[in-house]
Amino acid sequence: MVDEDVNDLELISIIGFDGTTIRGLNAHPDGLHFVYALGCKVVVQNWKTKHQKTFSGHTNVISAIDVSPNGKYIASGQISQMGFKAPVILWSFETSQLVSKYDIHKVRVESVAFTCDSKCLISLGGLDDSNIIVWNIEKEEVLCGVTASRGTSGNAALLCCTNLRGQCFVTGGEGTLRVWKVIADTKQAEAVDVKFGLIKRHIISMVIDELDVFAFCGTTTGDIVKIKLNYDADIDVLDPAATPILLGCFGKYIGKKRLVTGEEPARYSQGVTALCLLPSDMEGRIVVGAGDGTVELVKELKTVTFPEPSAIRKVKMLSLPQLLVLKSTNVNAAPTSLLLVQTTVFIGTMLSEIFTVDLETFEVKLHVTCHRHSIYDIAFPHEYSEVFATCSKDDIRVWNTETSLELLRITVPNFTCTCIQFACDGKSIVSGWNDGKIRAFTPQTGRLIYEIHNAHSKGVTAVAITTCGLQVVSGGGEGQVRVWKITPTYQKLQGILQEHKSSVSCIQISSSDTEAVSVSLDGSCVIWDIVKLARKRSLFANTQFMGVCYHPSGVQIVTTGSDRKIGYWELYDASLIREIEGSRSSGLNAVDITRDGERIVTGGNDQCVKVWNYHKGNPTHVGADHAGAVTAARFSPDNRYIVSVTSDGGIFLWKSPYITLPLQESWQSARCSSRSTRSTCSEQAEQQGKLAAEREVEEHAASARSAQGSKDGGIHETRLEQCICNGTAKSVGTPDIGGMLKRNGMPKRGGTTKSNGTPKSGGTTKSNGTPNNSQGTSSGKL
């Protein structure tokens, strides 16, 4: 049998942005494309069409990035392990190909910048290197290298090139600010220190005006340092006519025309993390970004009366009130990048969000948001592909599949969500947390429905819910599998299943709701009877199992683990019937299967997601644009999309190559013909009828409760949940999950509980860890 050719998966969109990189958001000179880092990838996005492409070549997290003034090149530097070189890569913007690369810096590249003539690339090493390398782009060789700072001064952390002189640049950092010139003939670089006197400043942001007259530097102190560079009017003269001098440390003007001796002006809280200097036709105004999220448009004043010079010298670290605040707003996180594109300021923040601010109205609009840390799990509602949920260190987020916009954010302060699952009726999101609790939230408002205390002693690592929604099966870090009975009034522990010796990594329940399979890092996989609460079969392998899923026929399971193998197991006798090498280099963390059982998808530490032919056992499509290890991957219920998430917080949405909806009868008949299934089709139909009747009773009860009136819009919520459950959203209208977006585009932050994880309803638990009845009654959803 001839194997099918391996094709590339079509990437639809990437939800991700590394906001921690200083000046990590860059605008291309064409004004249409934006360049930023995501893990070990460079991402170029067309702002209008939202089309994205990635540049692959780095082996670790990118720490610095820049775009050349002529728009032809992109430069990026990375972080490496201690004792290894940190490469700097030069890319072609048009072809997305690597142009040149050099490995000179040690451990970390702190900053990269192109000269104004785009002939040279300048890079600055980190604390373990502290060297400046000037790279000749045309000759692809090092022009010169020099130590960034003297031994008596602090370490340089950033650099900024001048706008008229291609051989000049400025470096700044902790207690140091130096003006440099490159002598190409002798292949040397010379520096002049800016004199600060007794004033000490730690510079964390810098910008130079368009005429190379002044440099403005943001400091951790919360003021802005203004430096006169003293360059000659002739741009061919590289040496400053006089030593660059400090003109002052500017704070905000607080309304007084005259200061009292020793009085300090207002400073920016948590330092000035980003600066953007507007053109001279805008009266030299400055956009300032502070560490507390404040973004202000300021103007330098000339008419404030200061104390006598003798009085100033007596005051240590004095800031002068030279900045008049014209407009102000807040983005709730420290800006790391400020860009001016026409009359719009683009802001990249430490929370990996991208905002825009209109200079005239100063109205803030959120465009991009994503997780900052590794994503642990993905979940789709039952038979509904319009939305999906992800969980990470800080929160649970619900996304719109078509637009890739965030719809809801659920946060429990100080705790991490490790696994999530939608209830089949669409009324709740069941989640497991590292504090050992199981929490359920509404998918529309993020309100806490119920909370199971002390579910597991070492954190909840896996969770699954039955089709009828009456049972939740959870796995913990101690290796136990627990079965919980869920009712509208209480949550009760039914049984504890002890077989695993290590953390449970994944749980899945069969379509009949009578058994569940769990896998563990100890190399064991156990099939449980969740009705009799007993072990049915167990299997072992020389691996750390990471993922498991039932085949739709119900006769086999598929597993993945650290041994790089995809295992096919027969449920009847727990025998291994097939083993496929899923990766040649690293373990596999995720596995999922389509509803027709024809295709499976896997993802692992090799940063690839692969689609496999289930029967032939060969890969058909590969997606290799990830910027980190793939931690989870899922098919959408309609098979139109594949969603994969990575350890760097990125969400990748792929177009599934197989979008034909499977017929339910095909896999039902396959289940009936299996040798491991003893029930007939009629018996299964009778059982499914009973489950459907139970669901109908629960839906009628929920509708009756919602008709009595709910404080949070229960009538609309119940109708939406029924749409998600029945998959009929198109006939009755798209669910209004996206209606929670505010006018400024910011997603609703719902479901936030107290810092200790206690729900606001005030429900307390019994001695056996079961919540009281008041907490379940208040939700009225299950």
For residue 264, the one-letter residue type is: E
317, pLDDT greater than 80: no
Q: How far apart are CA 614 and CA 599, in angstroms?
A: 5
pLDDT, greater one: 184 or 515: 515
Looking at residue 484, its pLDDT comes to: 96
pTM for this prediction: 0.81
Burial zone of 132 (CB within 10 Å; 0-12 exposed, 13-18 middle, 19+ buried): buried
Per DSSP, the chain holds a count of helices (H) and strands (E) of: 6, 58
Segment 530-560, tens digit of pLDDT: 999 999 999 999 999 999 999 999 899 999 9
Least confident of 233-247, 417-431, 686-700, 717-731: 717-731
Q: How far apart are CA 102 and CA 57, in angstroms?
A: 12
16, pLDDT greater than 80: yes
Sign for the pseudo-dihedral over CA of 634, 636, 639, 642: negative
Q: How far apart are CA 512 and CA 502, in angstroms?
A: 27
Segment 557-592, tens digit of pLDDT: 999 999 999 999 999 888 999 999 999 889 999 999
Looking at residue 633, its pLDDT comes to: 96
Segment 107-129, tens digit of pLDDT: 999 999 999 999 999 999 998 88
Name the pairing type of β-strands 375-379 and 364-368.
Answer: unpaired
| Cβ proximity of 29 and 71 under 8 Å | yes
Beta bridge partners of 327: 297
Mean pLDDT of the chain: 83
Check residue 16 and report its DSSP letter. Answer: -
Q: Which residues of 36-60 are buried (b: 16+ CB within 10 A; e: fewer)?
A: bbbbbbbbbbebeeeebebbeebee
State mean pLDDT over 40-50: 92
Q: Over pLDDT 70: what percentage of the chain?
A: 80
Segment 328-380, tens digit of pLDDT: 999 999 999 999 998 899 999 999 999 999 998 999 999 999 999 999 999 99
pLDDT, greater one: 197 or 615: 615
